[in-house]
Every structure is written in structure tokens, then in C-alpha cells.
Structure 1
């Protein structure tokens, strides 16, 4: 074979690789300018105390503070409790939509997709209209009983934040579950039913094992989102509920402590990236 013909395939591969790299440059450049550079500035500022120079003092001060430890604990328990609530409620609702025949089931399933596009503060505002201090529930109570105030005041407590997060993030669990249920072989359900298995046993022994990967994927995603949720906590106005994103806001905007705010932001990013990596692993194994 002539030497020129041997180099032609290699030259073609090099041109193809160069073309792919050329097409990749614009998005990489945009990512570097609008995301990586600001993130670099945040990390850089976290090592620069107000006294000047470069030091680990901002990390030592923030990590040793009571406010940070309390915010971290509040963030973790709220995220875990919200995730647990979303898993239970999402599984039950997805079961009803997928396996209980009723008019409009497909419409409800489509609405789940639409719900995912709603901003979190919109759901919080809706809950405030219903259960807020001057909301519909308290208004109905005062109209009926003549009392000066209604009894529903839980929205300004951690339970209100928990309710809002479960309400908003449950569809993020339902979506992968509905996709998994749509691929479930109905012959298994019919065989189990014909053998005398009742609905709870069918759910426990047939449906739940098939749903576990989707539950794990949806739960991992919800956990990451809840750890970074800011709008719900802010709009509920819950007293004494300070999460890591709220602490970043407080340090930067209210106290003008930018190194402290950047330290908390870096910690939050590290936790989120770690959990996102876990979510990707779980999603890949679930085939999502």
C-alpha cells in the first residue's frame, strides 16, 4: 500500500477531531466566562479576610461559629425530611395515577410535567394565600367563630417550610416513577392477582422492587434541590429557620461580610456537587 494512502485515514481522523474541538470551544468559553470565572472569584474571596492578604481565617471563623452549625443542621434535617415526605407522597400519587383507572389520569400525568416548570416561590405564595395569617383558612375560621385571629400559623415555622418543600418537590419524584411504571410488565400484576395476591402485597413484592431505582434517582435529585432551596424559606418568612443559602444572603446583604458569605457558599457548593455526583450514579444505574 502506498505511504500516502496509509496517512489518509489518519489525516481524516485528525481533521475530524480538530473539527469537534473547534465546535466545543464556544460553549466552553461561555461556561468559563459566565460560570467558572464567577465561581473562581467566590473561592478566591473566601480566602481573603477583611484585614487583607490571603488566609484560612475566614474558614476558621465561619466553621467555628454557632450560626453556621445551626444553619447546616437546619439545612440537612429540612432537606432529609422533605426528601422523605416527597418519596412517600410521590410514590402513593404515582401509584394512583399509573394503576388506578379514573377519568383524566393522563391529564394529571401531563400536569406533573407542567408543574416541574413552576418557580418555587409561586407554590409558597399559593400556600400563603390559603394558610397565611390573613389567608383563606384563617378568614373562614374567623367568619364562622367570630374569633379575632385564626389558628393556622404553621407557615412561619419549620413545618411550613417543610410543607412547602414537599408540595413543590414531590413531582420531581413522581416523574421518574411514572416513567418506570409505564415500562412495568402488566403481565406480572395480572399473574400476581390471579394467584390471589391482594393489592398491598402486589405493591410490596412486584411494584416496589421495580420502582426502587426510580425512587433513588428522584430522591437524590430532591435532596440536592432542597439543600439549595432559597425562595421557599425566604417567602414563608419562617422565624428561626436559617439554612445555608439564607445564611449566605444574610452574611452578604445584611452584614456585608463577603468573605464569610463566600466561605458558606463554597461549603454549600461542595455538598451539592458531592450529592449531585451521587445522583448521577444512581440515575445511571436506574437508566434515567
Structure 2
């Protein structure tokens, strides 16, 4: 196991610990404002300082790990579960319905992802689960296209023809022979997409289209802290910004590691 993969797994383990044990680790409430301790710099009592409302930034960063990972992982899981079967069916059956589905995906992907996400969240409402659903809608075409491309390259292979000759049904061919051989790109994409979802979640909250105060969320914290940076209050935006960087880096490293393990040539080199 490479040092890079170990580093990525260590960062992931840290985030899982924060998600599971947030109530035990956080020194203060993440949502209780204290007007007497507004914009306090980092100290022994407030390790990351306080924000404009007097809320403890460390506690909010810890709890925000739950929110950001919950939204991102939920969105990617939904996109994977929905997108993979759609990609399998549209790749295996070449008919009018498959063409129509792909044209719908073309329409969705023709919009800038961030702009479309803002529009959908504004329509559905700024709730945690609504943000997750919106991100899932944005990612479904990605997974569907990955699987469809693999299915199109596999459906005419000799081993598929042999399966037909042996009497296998279309359902058996799709799920027993094609899908297991087409899953690798989608599995690799899961980790990368989680990192993308974290950035999109933070970006939507940063512009006011994501979750609302006082919910602890990294992008929302950066947005609130950025307004104070001109006054020299650097800590309010710095620490949640670093949390975003670390979390996205974690899934980028893991995605690259999974890709290397999935490629036979890479396994041979290792």
C-alpha cells in the first residue's frame, strides 16, 4: 500500500471520527450564539476563534463535517444507484427511448452545473435533503454515460455472443455478464464525485443558495467569514476553508488510488 493511499485513508478516518463523535469532540454548541464573545481570535478557550455571531468556529467546523459529507455522499449514492441502471439499459437497448433519455441528459449537462444547481435549489427550497437531491440530479447523467460507454463496448464482444448461444436471457446477460465488467469507471468516479459534491455544496451555500444559518456548513461559514476579512478577522473564513480543501483532497487521493488499483498495468507496476 502506497504512502499516498495511506495518507488519504488517514484523512478519511479523521473525517469519519468527526462525523460519528462530533458531540463528544466539539467543545461548544455549534449553533448557540454568544453576543459577549463576538469575533474572538483563536485562544485556549476558542481554538479556532468565534464568528460574527459569537459561535465557536471549531465546533461548527466539526459539525459541518457531518452536514457536508451527508449531503455529498447521499447525492453520489443516489446518482450511482439511479445512473448505473439507466446507463446499462440505454447502452444495451438501442431504441427511441434510449435516445430520448440521452437527449434529456444532454439538456441537463448543457447548463453550467453551478447555475443549474442554484436554480433547482431555489425552486425546491434550501434544505439539506433538497441540496442532496439537486446534486444527485446533476450527477446522474455522469454515471449513466460512464456505464453506457462501457456497455456499448462490451455488448458485441465474443463472450456476450457465447452467452446468447448458451440460452442466456437479456436480463442475465446485462446483470451477470456486462454489468460486472462495466462497473470499474463508475466505482472510480464515486470518490471523485464526492469531492465535487463537497465543492458544489460549499459553493451553493457560499452564494446563499445552499443550506441556511445557523446550520454549520463549510461554505456558509466561509461566506460569513469573508465579510470580516477586510477587518483583519482571518480565522472566521480560514479554518472552514481549510476543512473544504482537506476533505476534497481526501477523496481526490482515494479516487486516484482506486483508479490505479483498477488498472492492470498500474497493479503490475506497484
The residue number in structure 2 matching 1:271 is 247
The offset of 1:76, in angstroms, is 0.9
1:242–1:98 CA distance, 2 compared to 1 (3 A): farther
1:56–1:265 CA distance, 2 compared to 1 (3 A): farther
Instruction: Find the partner of 1:172 among 126, 132, 142.
Output: 142
Alpha-carbon distance in structure 1 between the residues aligned to 2:258 and 2:103: 25
TM-score, structure 2 normalization: 0.64
Instruction: Find the partner of 2:152 among 166, 171, 182.
Output: 182
The residue number in structure 2 matching 1:225 is 196
Which string of whole-angstrom CA distances, capped at 9 and with x for unpartnered residues, describes residues 152-171 of structure 1?
xx533222111110011222
The offset of 1:125, in angstroms, is 4.9
The residue number in structure 1 matching 2:172 is 201
The offset of 1:208, in angstroms, is 2.3
Which string of whole-angstrom CA distances, capped at 9 and with x for unpartnered residues, describes residues 28-79 of structure 1?
xxxxxxxxxxxxxxxxxxxxx986xxx8869933697332222111001111
Classify the secondary structure of the residue corresponding to 1:161.
Answer: helix
State the number of aligned residues. 213
The question of whether the paired residues in 1 share the 8 Å contact of 2:76 and 2:190 is answered with yes
Classify the secondary structure of the residue corresponding to 2:168.
Answer: coil
In structure 1, the gaps of 5 or more residues are: 1-48, 133-153
The question of whether the paired residues in 2 share the 8 Å contact of 1:79 and 1:223 is answered with yes
The offset of 1:219, in angstroms, is 1.0
The residue number in structure 1 matching 2:29 is none
The offset of 1:183, in angstroms, is 2.1
TM-score, structure 1 normalization: 0.61
The offset of 1:283, in angstroms, is 3.0
Instruction: Find the partner of 2:91 among 89, 98, 104.
Output: 98
Which string of whole-angstrom CA distances, capped at 9 and with x for unpartnered residues, describes residues 101-158 of structure 1?
22274575477467446323432355368xx3xxxxxxxxxxxxxxxxxxxxx53322
Alpha-carbon distance in structure 1 between the residues aligned to 2:136 and 2:146: 16
Classify the secondary structure of the residue corresponding to 1:156.
Answer: coil
- Work out which of the two has the higher radius of gyration on C-alpha atoms and give 1 or 2: 1
The question of whether the paired residues in 2 share the 8 Å contact of 1:249 and 1:261 is answered with yes
Instruction: Find the partner of 1:127 among 120, 145, 152.
Output: 120
The question of whether the paired residues in 2 share the 8 Å contact of 1:213 and 1:285 is answered with no
The question of whether the paired residues in 1 share the 8 Å contact of 2:75 and 2:136 is answered with yes
1:185–1:128 CA distance, 2 compared to 1 (3 A): closer
Alpha-carbon distance in structure 2 between the residues aligned to 1:110 and 1:59: 53
